[in-house]
């Protein structure tokens, strides 16, 4: 599935379950516990198409970044910005703090430049 120009994605209260790198295929897949697709101005619970265990596959990846270095995304997605060839997902995540020997919660992002994408439905 590919979004049409009227469709939007809602990821509030959702989690990134895993990120899969297929280096020989130049693809990155991000699996969310749930992704909602809607066409209204704002997301309204119950009026969207909800896809559980949704995988968004980015193909022909030309660049990606996870910042800050070493961040492991967790279950709080702050924002998503997606266009025809770029996505940036701002999320809270955990980073190991060498001084305290503990995990710190930080805001970071995952960005991907790609040629095409698909959403499992």
pLDDT digits (tens, 9 = 90+) for 18-72: 999 999 999 999 999 998 888 887 777 777 888 999 999 999 999 999 999 888 8
* Nearest to 108, CA basis, from 61, 63, 76, 62: 76
| Residues 90-118: tens digit of each pLDDT | 998 888 999 999 999 999 999 999 999 99
Backbone angles phi, psi at 113, to 5 degrees: -100, 130
Tell me the whole-structure pTM to 2 decimals. Answer: 0.85
Only one residue has tokens 């060839």, namely 85
Residue 105 in tokens: 């919660």
- The yes-or-no verdict on residue 1 having pLDDT over 70 is no
CB distance 9 to 82 below 8 Å: yes
Least confident range of 44-48, 49-53, 75-79, 83-87: 44-48
How would residue 2 be classed by pLDDT, with cut points 50, 70 and 90? low
């Amino acid at each position: 599935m590919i979004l049409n120009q009227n469709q939007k994605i809602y990821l509030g209260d959702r989690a990134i379950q895993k990120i899969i790198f297929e280096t020989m295929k130049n693809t990155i897949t991000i699996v969310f516990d749930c992704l909602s697709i809607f066409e209204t101005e704002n997301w309204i619970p119950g009026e969207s198409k909800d896809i559980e265990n949704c995988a968004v596959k980015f193909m022909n990846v030309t660049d990606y970044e996870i910042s800050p270095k070493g961040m492991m995304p967790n279950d709080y997605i702050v924002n998503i910005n997606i266009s025809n060839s770029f996505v940036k997902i701002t999320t809270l995540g955990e980073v190991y703090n060498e001084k305290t020997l503990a995990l710190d919660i930080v805001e970071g992002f995952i960005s991907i430049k790609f040629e095409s994408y698909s959403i499992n439905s």
